[in-house]
């Protein structure tokens, strides 16, 4: 029998000259392109029938794993269920067919939807303003850091450094650097939080900002956040909060009340829009009024009475960070989600996300080692210390989970935990699904003791077995290469 992998190759090999699917003839005049525009030779696509194409892509789709297939506890990614209702709203004709070049009086509904969403996000975060332009979390970070830079520049003092905790997401140092700053790392204390004493020593008038994730990537709430904000503000520095983990705070606490000056949200995490294989996502930035003059243009303004419009007249704006108005249809899905749940629903979401993570923590803490004992919120970080003596590593555990139909959690992150296994179940999983995961994690621990080899060889039942991850990242083979078709 052929494996799926071998079958996939066949699509190119069964190609026969002249084979094709249904070919509808339109009555339009055909014209050949001339000169540089004309094709010089065959394009080398396989020539196959419709049924062969359908089966090829259906087969490929089954080789993948997504949040609609099963449990996907990828820590710090908030892979939760994306309610199908969101898609329906975003597919409504008036939204779907509204074009960014339409004059504003033709798209009042779309402009209002943007304004209403911005207002909701300000309410949820406790901030004064919001821009929907950034297309991802990292993009929101960059936008926020550019606004911080402009803020300092306008005061005649651009400053040099951004402080970032050692538990930070990798995008934080990257975006600070892109915004023209040098990054200085701050150590975490024994509880996994920012070391406030270290901060006091490091802060000075050359520091532009501190970027903090709260709750941080260990899932721990930064209890000293207000004190941290005070220390920064006393030296004229600002506080940037990476709000990708809002799933743990929404409806319960507001970053705006913790002293945060600017933050981003991940619509494709907390507000249940698909991550979409790299896009389109959305990472709105929310900020206090002292940063408003620097926000991206245009800014949606107005109300039902006056009507809605776009304001381009912001002389100190950092400019545009995205074509037109951001990924509008993605932001619309977030609006649908927020309106469907309402304030109490959003709060319940947070409680359930935190409860699910803590349930897993409680059930697995005697099996897997907990490197930090601090109370955690929406995610929990274990490591492979207990399995080490059997020669089993985090990677082996993660790969074995695939055999049981579970997507591996985030591994080897955060970097401050050796062999980290970072689990974020989210609120959208059922008790039964979470119990199954717990049972499998215990089973894998048992296998580690009794038959470690089975873990070392995992996964066993996937279209491709264990890959060389470095090669896969550095030299990905993204398409089939035949003898005459490379
Ligand atoms: C996901 C995440 C980001 C980056 O968001 P993208 O949308 O992937 O760019 C940044 N910080 C944290 C803490 C995250 O979890």
pLDDT, tens digit (0-9, with 9 covering 90-100), for 246-255: 999 999 999 9
* Nearest Cα to Cα of residue 357 among 168, 220, 169: 220
Task: Please report the sign of the dihedral spanned by the C-alpha atoms of residue 321, residue 322, residue 325, residue 330.
Answer: negative
Q: What is the pLDDT of residues 184-204, one digit of tens each?
A: 999 999 888 999 999 999 999
- pLDDT band (50, 70, 90) for residue 327: very high
* Both tokens assigned to 111: 């402009």
Give 329 Cα–ligand 1 centroid separation in angstroms.
20
* Nearest Cα to Cα of residue 183 among 198, 213, 162: 162
Atom of ligand 1 nearest to the CA of 283: 7
Atom of ligand 1 nearest to the CA of 171: 10
For ligand 1, atom 4: residue with the closest CA: 137
For ligand 1, atom 14: residue with the closest CA: 244
Give 343 Cα–ligand 1 centroid separation in angstroms.
24
Cβ–Cβ < 8 Å for 80, 273? no
Give 76 Cα–ligand 1 centroid separation in angstroms.
7
Give the mutation target among 79, 134, 136, 138 for probing the ligand 1 site: most ligand atoms within 8 A of CB. Answer: 138
Residues with CB under 6 A from ligand 1: 76-77, 136-138, 169, 171, 213, 217, 242, 244-245, 266, 281, 283
Helix (H, G, I), strand (E, B) or coil at 303: strand
Q: Which residue has the higher pLDDT, 335 or 476?
A: 335
* Both tokens assigned to 163: 């402080």
For ligand 1, atom 3: residue with the closest CA: 137
Give pTM, 2 decimals: 0.91
Distance CA 139, CA 266 (A): 10
Give 479 Cα–ligand 1 centroid separation in angstroms.
28
Task: Please report the sign of the dihedral spanned by the C-alpha atoms of residue 151, residue 157, residue 158, residue 163.
Answer: negative
- Residue 377 in this model has a pLDDT that exceeds 90: yes
Distance CA 71, CA 94 (A): 35
Nearest-10 crossing angle of helices 431-450, 328-364: 50
For ligand 1, atom 8: residue with the closest CA: 137
For ligand 1, atom 7: residue with the closest CA: 137
Distance CA 89, CA 330 (A): 10
Q: Which residue has the higher pLDDT, 45 or 104?
A: 104
* Both tokens assigned to 250: 């929404």
Helix, strand, coil tally for the chain in percent (to 5): 40, 10, 45
Percent of the chain with pLDDT over 90: 78
- pLDDT band (50, 70, 90) for residue 96: very high
The residue-averaged pLDDT of 365-385 equals 95
The residue-averaged pLDDT of 73-78 equals 94
For ligand 1, atom 1: residue with the closest CA: 77
Q: Which residue has the higher pLDDT, 43 or 53?
A: 53
Task: Please report the sign of the dihedral spanned by the C-alpha atoms of residue 143, residue 144, residue 145, residue 151.
Answer: positive
Cβ–Cβ < 8 Å for 421, 343? no
Distances (CA, A) of 46 to 16, 386, 421: 8, 51, 43
Distance CA 350, CA 391 (A): 38
For ligand 1, atom 6: residue with the closest CA: 137
Distance CA 376, CA 270 (A): 18
Atom of ligand 1 nearest to the CA of 76: 15
Distance CA 56, CA 44 (A): 17
Q: What is the pLDDT of residues 214-226, one digit of tens each?
A: 999 899 999 999 9
Give 446 Cα–ligand 1 centroid separation in angstroms.
34
Distance CA 402, CA 29 (A): 53
Distance CA 250, CA 272 (A): 13
Q: What is the pLDDT of residues 49-65, one digit of tens each?
A: 999 899 888 888 888 88
Q: What is the pLDDT of residues 297-306, one digit of tens each?
A: 999 999 999 9
Atom of ligand 1 nearest to the CA of 136: 7
Cβ–Cβ < 8 Å for 298, 111? no
Give the mutation target among 169, 218, 322 for probing the ligand 1 site: most ligand atoms within 8 A of CB. Answer: 169
Alpha-carbon torsion, ordered 56, 12, 9, 13, to 10 deg: 120
Domain 84-340 carries which CATH code? 3.40.640.10
Nearest-10 crossing angle of helices 50-62, 4-13: 150
- Residue 436 in this model has a pLDDT that exceeds 70: yes
Give the mutation target among 74, 266, 379 for probing the ligand 1 site: most ligand atoms within 8 A of CB. Answer: 266
Distance CA 236, CA 319 (A): 24
Give 481 Cα–ligand 1 centroid separation in angstroms.
34
Cβ–Cβ < 8 Å for 237, 203? yes
* Nearest Cα to Cα of residue 256 among 285, 287, 228, 300: 287
* Nearest Cα to Cα of residue 221 among 33, 377, 60, 59: 377
* Nearest Cα to Cα of residue 401 among 473, 472, 466, 325: 466
Domain 343-472 carries which CATH code? 3.90.1150.10
What residue segments make up the domains of the chain, in order of their start? 1-23+42-58, 84-340, 343-472
On the CB side of 247, how many CA atoms lie within 13 Å of its CA? 33
Give 161 Cα–ligand 1 centroid separation in angstroms.
21
**Which residues does 152 contact at the CB level (< 8 Å), separation at least 6?**
158, 159, 208
Partnered with residue 485 across adjacent β-strands are 482
DSSP for 190-245, written as a single string = TTSSB-HHHHHHH--TTEEEEEEESS-TTS---TTHHHHHHHHHHTT-EEEEEETT
Give 264 Cα–ligand 1 centroid separation in angstroms.
9
Q: What is the pLDDT of residues 165-175, one digit of tens each?
A: 998 999 999 99
- pLDDT band (50, 70, 90) for residue 28: confident
Give 138 Cα–ligand 1 centroid separation in angstroms.
6
Give 355 Cα–ligand 1 centroid separation in angstroms.
22
Atom of ligand 1 nearest to the CA of 78: 15
Give 172 Cα–ligand 1 centroid separation in angstroms.
9
For ligand 1, atom 2: residue with the closest CA: 244
Give 143 Cα–ligand 1 centroid separation in angstroms.
14
- pLDDT band (50, 70, 90) for residue 8: low
């Amino acid at each position: 029998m052929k494996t799926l992998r071998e079958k996939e190759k066949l699509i190119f090999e069964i190609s026969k000259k002249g084979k094709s699917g249904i070919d509808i003839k339109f009555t339009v005049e055909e014209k050949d392109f001339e000169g540089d525009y004309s094709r010089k030779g065959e394009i080398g696509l396989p020539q196959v029938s419709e049924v062969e194409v359908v089966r090829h892509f259906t087969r490929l789709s089954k080789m993948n794993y997504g949040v609609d297939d099963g449990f996907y506890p990828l820590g710090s990614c908030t892979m939760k269920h994306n309610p199908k209702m969101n898609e329906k709203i975003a597919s409504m004709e008036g939204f779907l067919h509204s074009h960014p070049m339409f004059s504003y009086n033709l798209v009042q509904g779309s402009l209002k939807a943007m304004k209403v969403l911005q207002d909701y996000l300000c309410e949820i975060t406790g901030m004064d303003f919001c821009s929907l332009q950034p297309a991802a979390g990292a993009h929101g970070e960059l936008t926020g850091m550019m606004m911080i830079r402009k803020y300092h520049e306008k005061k005649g003092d651009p400053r040099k450094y951004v402080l970032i905790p050692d538990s930070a997401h990798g995008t934080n140092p990257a975006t600070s650097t892109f915004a023209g700053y040098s990054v200085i790392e701050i150590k975490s204390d024994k509880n996994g939080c920012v070391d406030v004493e270290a901060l006091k020593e490091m802060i000075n008038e050359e520091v532009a900002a501190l970027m903090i994730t709260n709750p941080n990537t260990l899932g721990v709430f930064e209890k000293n956040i207000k004190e941290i904000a005070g220390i920064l503000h006393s030296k004229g520095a600002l506080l940037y909060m990476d709000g990708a983990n809002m799933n743990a705070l929404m409806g319960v606490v507001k970053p705006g009340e913790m002293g945060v000056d600017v933050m981003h949200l991940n619509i494709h995490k907390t507000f249940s829009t698909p991550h979409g294989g790299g896009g389109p996502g959305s990472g709105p930035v929310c900020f206090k009024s002292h940063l408003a003059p620097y926000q991206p243009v245009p800014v949606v303004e107005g109300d039902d009475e006056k009507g809605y419009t776009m304001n381009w007249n912001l002389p100190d704006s950092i400019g545009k960070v995205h074509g037109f108005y951001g990924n509008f249809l993605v932001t619309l899905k977030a609006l649908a989600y927020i309106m469907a749940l309402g304030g109490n629903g959003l709060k319940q979401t947070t409680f359930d996300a935190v409860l699910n993570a803590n349930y897993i923590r409680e059930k697995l803490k005697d099996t897997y080692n907990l490197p930090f004992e601090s109370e955690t919120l929406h995610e929990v970080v274990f490591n492979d210390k207990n399995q080490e003596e059997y020669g089993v590593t985090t990677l082996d555990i993660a790969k074995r989970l695939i055999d049981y139909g579970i997507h591996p959690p985030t591994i080897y992150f955060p970097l401050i935990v050796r062999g980290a296994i970072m689990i974020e179940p989210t609120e959208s999983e059922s008790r039964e699904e979470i119990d199954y995961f717990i049972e499998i994690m215990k089973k894998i621990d048992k296998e580690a003791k009794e038959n470690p080899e089975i873990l070392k060889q995992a996964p066993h039942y996937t279209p491709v077995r264990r890959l060389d991850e470095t090669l896969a990242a550095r030299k990905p083979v993204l398409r089939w290469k035949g003898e005459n078709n490379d």
